[in-house]
Amino acid sequence: MSDWKLPVSALISVSVLVGATACGDSSETTGSSAALPAPDSDTSAPAAPSTPTISPEDLDAATYQAISPRDYALLVKDPESNKGRKIIVYGVVTQFDAATGNAEFRANTGAQPDDYLQNTMIDAQDPSILANVVQNDIVTMWCKVRGADTYKTTMGGELTVPRFWVYIIKDAGSAGPIP
C-alpha cells in the first residue's frame, strides 16, 4: 500500500464543491472545481469559490411571487427550507456603506410596503443595479432566497437573519432618517 497524499488545495477545492452542492441550489454554482490539480501543478493557493450566474429568468419580474405577511413570517422562521424561492420583498435600506461594500447591504424588509420589521441581508451578483441605492432608501426587490446568515453585531453578539440575492430593484427614494 502506498502513501498517496493530496495537496491541501485539492482538499479545499473538493470541500468547496461539496459544500456548494450540499448546502444550496446546485444550479447556482458555475465552473468546475471537481478536477483535482495535476501532481506538478501549483497548489499554493486554494480555488476561489464560484459565483452564481444570472439567468434570463432571474431578470424577469413575472417569475417572482408576491407573498402574504404570514408566508413571509414562515420564510423568516426557516429560510434554509426556502432556498431558491423567488419572492417580491419591500424594505428600507438600513446599512449600505464601506463596511458592507458595493454589492451587499442590510435592510429591514417585509411582504408589504411599509411593513419593514425583518432585518435581512441582501446581495447583488451585479453590483451595478445598486449604484443609486443608499442608506434610508425605500426599495422594492425581486429576490431569490439564499438561506440564513449569521453575523456578529457591534455589541459582540450574533444575529441570524434571512439572506437574499436581489436581481431587480426599484428605488423609491429616501425614507428620511431611520430611528
13: number of Cβ within 10 Å: 22
- pLDDT value, residue 125: 95
- Cα dist from 144 to 52, 64, 84, 137, whole Å: 12, 8, 5, 20
In the chain, what are the domains? 1-53 (no CATH), 56-174 (2.40.50.140)
Mean pLDDT of each 10-residue bin along the chain, 179 residues long: 38 34 33 37 45 89 98 98 98 96 98 96 97 97 98 93 98 82
- pLDDT value, residue 7: 38
105: number of Cβ within 10 Å: 25
pTM exceeds cut of 0.85? no
- pLDDT value, residue 51: 64
- Cα dist from 69 to 66, 113, 132, 159, whole Å: 10, 11, 28, 21
- pLDDT value, residue 91: 98
- pLDDT value, residue 29: 28
Q: How many CA atoms lie within 13 A of 4 on its CB side?
A: 3
What cell was used for 95?
446599512
